[in-house]
Structure 1
């Protein structure tokens, strides 16, 4: 394999990424603005309900209470759809980067095997550090245990140059079992890049020989990495959450519910009180 051809092909592959990323980030920003506007509207309606209760008491029925509750639910549903849209675009950016990076890593490994490209200095030492920094918890989501300090069991082997070079691609994406991910419909963006359903088929072409967990977790709909916590809600659609996404710095004590489940529980409690 000719190194100059690999370089030329790589430059050609990534030349359109800047425009694609610009469009993706603009769409994310637009969806975020719309979500904030929807939230502002349904919070105003919620304030109307609370204001009426303060003035007339909880036993007095507000004339347009049902209408306000319906509009609040519609606004919350619109916000959820916009958040899902943002996740789709973010996952598309992640997929584009991972796809091009994986292809480049494979080409570099082939050049090393052919002897036309010298390996990087201190490659093994660098691979070891990456493995330590990106180690993940061996506990599987199916065991429903809290994730704490990370420990590595699935780090890449350093016996081959190819595996040590791809340590950065493999960081934090391996676990011993998979959780079923929520399906996301296909979407098209104006730069002719199709946003596929984020499942095991996404990296089929670029990671044929790697057994990676590409399941999406948490509100951010990202792959497993770092410290995560499981929601105790029986019907939680995300189940596992990254600490940073739920403002946690250490494992919670006792039963823990995600914001969505807490909100749902509060709504059910309110309905029971009305009955």
Structure 2
């Protein structure tokens, strides 16, 4: 395998990923605004009922109280539906990242087996000499002279620390809320008030960042889940560090909506139970 080809394919994949993420973020922001409007609407109705109770007491029924209560419940139900949609979009973004990361790690592994790329270093005991040696092997493989840019690389490494190193990263199976970057309105957690702060438009994204994207994305033929099928529909990632399958189709694990918090597949749960039982016995 040619390292320059791996680099070219990776850049192409990242370019496609940016285009796909822009679409997903726009969908998430649109859902965010819809949820904001629904939330504001049922809070106003609830505020009217609360005001009536304060003025007339809880024993007196407010005009159209039953109809208003039904509208409030309907508004809450709509918000829950929109939230589920946002979770599915975020999970889709996570899956795209995991798929591209898996492909890159596989290519790097092949390069290491062919002796073109030095094996990844452990975080403990890293040395600058080994870093430069590994970088030189990559540069020589792609036909570049490492001596030419030695001063440039040295200056960069002194300011950016371990940026020249590639470290093995563990797969992340859940997105942090702040990583989504949705610029829509936020809701007050106490539900006491609604602050109508306009979100910054997604046009702040630089259009040039998504220019020249390649639409010919390679089909993912990796097999996932217990059923050993390709990715389709909604999928969930197992948080087990040594999970054999990593990603599962909702139907195969009896899920109808994104799980809350950490989620482990049946195999990982069984393995964890065995480990806990051994600890108790010891």
TM-score (norm 1): 0.50
In structure 2, C-alpha distance between the alignment counterparts of 1:119 and 1:65, rounded to whole Å: 69
Counterpart in the other structure of 1:196:
233
The alpha-carbon deviation at position 2 of structure 1 amounts to 2.1
Larger helix fraction of residues: 2
Matching of residues 6-45 of structure 1 within 5 Å: 6-45=6-45
Q: Please list every run of 5 or more consecutive structure 2 residues that lacks an aligned counterpart in the other structure.
A: 127-165, 175-214, 218-230, 264-282
Return structure 1 stretches of 4+ with deviation > 6 angstroms. 191-195
The structure showing larger relative contact order (alpha-carbon pairs under 8 Å, at least 6 residues apart) is 2
| Cα distance, 1:45–1:61 mapped onto 2, change above 3 Å | same
SS of 1:169's partner is coil
Q: CA deviation at 1:12?
A: 2.6
Structure 1, residues 176-231: CA drift from partner, whole Å, max 9, x if none? xxxxxxxxxxxxxxx9999831236x9xxxxxx952665899x9857739xxxxxx
Partner residue of 1:211? 244
- Cα offset, 1:168, TM superposition: 1.4
Assess, with a 3 A threshold, how the Cα gap between structure 1 residues 221 and 22 changes in structure 2: closer, same or farther: farther
Q: CA RMSD in A?
A: 3.8
CA distance in 2 between partners of 1:37 and 1:22 (Å): 23
SS in structure 1 of the partner of residue 119 of structure 2 = coil
2:123 corresponds, among 125, 143, 156, to 125
On the 8 A contact 2:98/2:171 being kept in 1, the answer is no
- Contact 2:88 2:258 survives alignment (8 Å): no
* Superposition map of 1:234-273 within 5 A: none
How far apart, CA to CA, are the structure 2 residues paired with 1:56 and 1:36?
Answer: 30
- Specify the alignment match of 1:169 in structure 2: 170
Equivalent pair of 2:236/2:258 in contact (CA under 8 Å): no
- When structure 1 is superposed on structure 2, of 45-54 and 12-21 the one drifting more is 12-21
SS of structure 2 residue aligned to 1:79: helix
- Rounded Cα–Cα distance in structure 2 between residues aligned with 1:125 and 1:19: 33
Higher mean C-alpha displacement, 61-70 vs 111-120: 111-120
- Note the alpha carbon deviations across 1:88-125, whole angstroms, 9 max, x for none: 111111111111011101110111011111234xx122
Secondary structure of the corresponding residue to residue 236 of structure 2: coil
Give the superposition deviation at 1:75: 0.5
Contact in 1 for aligned 2:94/2:173 (Cα 8 Å): no
SS at match of 1:199: strand
For structure 1, list consecutive stretches of 5 or more residues without a partner in the other structure.
129-164, 174-190, 203-208, 226-275
Change over 3 Å in CA distance of 1:74–1:24 after alignment to 2:
same
TM-score after normalising by structure 2: 0.49
CA distance in 2, matches of 1:57, 1:69: 17
Residue 10 of structure 1 deviates from its aligned partner by 2.1
In structure 2, C-alpha distance between the alignment counterparts of 1:87 and 1:55, rounded to whole Å: 41
Equivalenced residue count is: 163
Match of 1:110 in 2: 110
